[in-house]
Amino acid sequence: KQEVTQIPAALSVPEGENLVLNCSFTDSAIYNLQWFRQDPGKGLTSLLLIQSSQREQTSGRLNASLDKSSGRSTLYIAASQPGDSATYLCVSRTDSWGKLQFGAGTQVVVTP
């Protein structure tokens, strides 16, 4: 059974610093890996999805890498802003029917 672990569980940085969020997974036979953002009391917003054949994806200040052999993914957020404060979830898909496995999340606070 796939297990997804996110470290750290919480992170606080001053505005302008770069954020590095780590995710590890036990089963390397994934279809894809996705990063979501969740604001308090809100739903999930997809940030980046990396297909199994890809090594990374980029969107604006966000970059996510994928290393299947080591079972790791990293989400980088450059020049953090207070608006980046949220919980970030790492999610893997190992099922052809689309079943997802969620990490517990990293709660990020960016202070002005």
Return the range that interacts with other proteins (CB under 8 A); candidates 8-16, 20-28, 41-49, 73-81.
41-49
Cα–Cα dist 18/72, whole Å: 19
The token duo for 57 is 């994806």
Q: Which residue number, 13 or 62, has a Cβ lying nearer to other proteins?
A: 62
Separation in Å, CA 60 to CA 30, 47, 78, 80? 25, 10, 9, 12
Of the candidate residues 33, 47, 89, 90, the single one contacting other proteins (CB under 8 A): 89
Q: Which residues bind other proteins (CB under 8 A)?
A: 31-32, 34, 36, 41-44, 46, 49, 51, 89, 93, 97-100, 102-105
